[in-house]
């Protein structure tokens, strides 16, 4: 933790209290000049810090920044967030998390960035990552599960994102197979989970998460393959990124603990309840050809179960799934 983070942490653990420069200087073992320098830096970052003669400093208000100390403060997690790395800018939080994972950092390490210069979506697509508005974070896990079960974690993180959106932003977010979260048919969040493994052992899994929180219409690229939205565009209300991230990490931790204890079944049920196309007629484009049927659920491998007209169940492991439009249905 930097001195700046430590001072913030002191303010957080002493809410509404004045802390004298002398006290801070003693507790952090830095000079009083250094304390003053950090207070000045925090003010420049947008923190409102009152300085009262003979009493000391007091935190009045914090801006919507994603600072490690702020994120860690008050988190009550078993696995996730023991260590938080917050970057003002990086290429991609997944790339940084992978690098840290290879260096051997702890399970539960979170990498978050205000801005990504090379944010990536699925299949190598670009993920638009402007500064100050959205959430870009990656979480490192080292689950002791068979390699074949690693894809289950994608569905776990999708459920946690959707539930956090619904709780914090009062949305009706749904999950879209395999790794999107949508609101009214438009993409609001995407997951890019990565894994390094050997035959019998997972080295690590990185859950990469991008959520469009306060992004404005003109910040989306002109040409989008799928319609996209943000929480602000849907509700007209700004989302506090810090509150959102903390809630999300707690939710993720809760489901990850449950997953390690009870397996995939509870998550699968939750995912099916949140699925945007459950019991709907869909068309699946598998590259080699199309297939029509009704979505009936998810299986243990993470395949989408689609029932054909003849009753047979097809397991979809890869492909683009889209609802059959009403017009087409009427024509059939």
**Do 197 and 203 form a contact (C-beta atoms < 8 A)?**
yes
Minimum CB distance to its own copies smaller for 94 or for 276? 94
Least separation in angstroms between residue 97's CB and its own copies is 13
Q: Residue 100 to residues 21, 103, 106, 118, 170: CA-CA distances in angstroms? A: 36, 5, 9, 18, 35
Q: Is the dihedral of CA 77, 80, 85, 91 positive or negative?
A: negative
For 1, which DSSP code?
-
Minimum CB distance to its own copies smaller for 153 or for 169? 153
Minimum CB distance to its own copies smaller for 194 or for 283? 194
Question: Rounded to whole angstroms, how far apart are CA atoms 205 and 282?
Answer: 31
Minimum CB distance to its own copies smaller for 232 or for 256? 256
Minimum CB distance to its own copies smaller for 117 or for 196? 196
Least separation in angstroms between residue 121's CB and its own copies is 10
Which residues contact residue 242 at a Cβ distance below 8 angstroms, ignoring those fewer than 6 apart? 62, 64, 65, 66, 70, 71
Least separation in angstroms between residue 320's CB and its own copies is 10
Peptide bond into 263 cis (omega under 30): no
Least separation in angstroms between residue 109's CB and its own copies is 19
What would the two tokens of residue 160 be?
A: 């946690």
Minimum CB distance to its own copies smaller for 139 or for 150? 150
Radius of gyration for the alpha carbons in the chain, expressed in angstroms and rounded: 22
What would the two tokens of residue 235 be?
A: 């509700």
Least separation in angstroms between residue 104's CB and its own copies is 13
Q: Which residues bind its own copies (CB under 8 A)?
A: 122-124, 146-151, 154, 178-179, 191-201, 301-303, 317-318
Least separation in angstroms between residue 188's CB and its own copies is 18
Q: Which ranges of 111-240 does DSSP label H, i.e. alpha helix?
A: 152-168, 231-235
């Amino acid at each position: 933790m930097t001195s700046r983070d430590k001072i913030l942490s002191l303010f957080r653990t002493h809410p509404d209290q004045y802390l004298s420069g002398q006290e801070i200087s003693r507790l952090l073992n830095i000079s009083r000049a250094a304390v003053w320098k950090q207070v000045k830096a925090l003010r420049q970052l947008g923190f409102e810090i009152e300085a009262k003669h003979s009493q000391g400093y007091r935190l009045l208000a914090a801006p919507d920044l994603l600072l490690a100390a702020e994120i860690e403060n008050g988190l009550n997690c078993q696995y996730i967030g023991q260590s938080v790395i917050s970057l003002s800018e990086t290429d991609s939080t997944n790339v940084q998390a992978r690098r840290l994972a290879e260096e051997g950092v702890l399970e539960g390490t979170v990498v978050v960035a205000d801005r990504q210069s090379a944010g990536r979506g699925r299949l190598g697509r670009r993920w638009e990552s402007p500064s100050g508005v959205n959430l870009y974070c990656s979480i490192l896990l080292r689950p002791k599960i068979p390699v074949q079960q690693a894809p289950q974690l994608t569905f776990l993180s999708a459920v946690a994102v959707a539930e956090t959106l619904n709780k914090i932003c009062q949305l009706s977010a749904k999950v879209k197979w395999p790794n999107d979260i949508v609101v009214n048919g438009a993409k609001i969040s995407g997951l890019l989970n990565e894994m390094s493994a050997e035959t019998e052992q997972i080295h690590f899994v990185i859950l990469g998460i991008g959520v469009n929180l306060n992004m404005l219409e003109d910040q989306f690229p002109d040409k989008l393959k799928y319609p996209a939205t943000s929480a602000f565009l849907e509700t007209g209300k700004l989302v506090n990124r810090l509150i959102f991230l903390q809630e999300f990490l707690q939710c993720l931790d809760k489901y990850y603990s449950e997953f390690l204890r009870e397996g995939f079944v509870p998550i699968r049920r939750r995912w099916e309840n949140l699925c945007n196309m459950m019991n709907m007629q869909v068309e699946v484009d598998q590259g080699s050809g199309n297939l029509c049927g009704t979505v009936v659920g998810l299986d243990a491998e993470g395949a989408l179960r689609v029932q054909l007209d003849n009753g047979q169940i097809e397991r979809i492991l890869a492909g683009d799934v889209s609802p059959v439009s009403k017009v087409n249905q009427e024509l059939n």
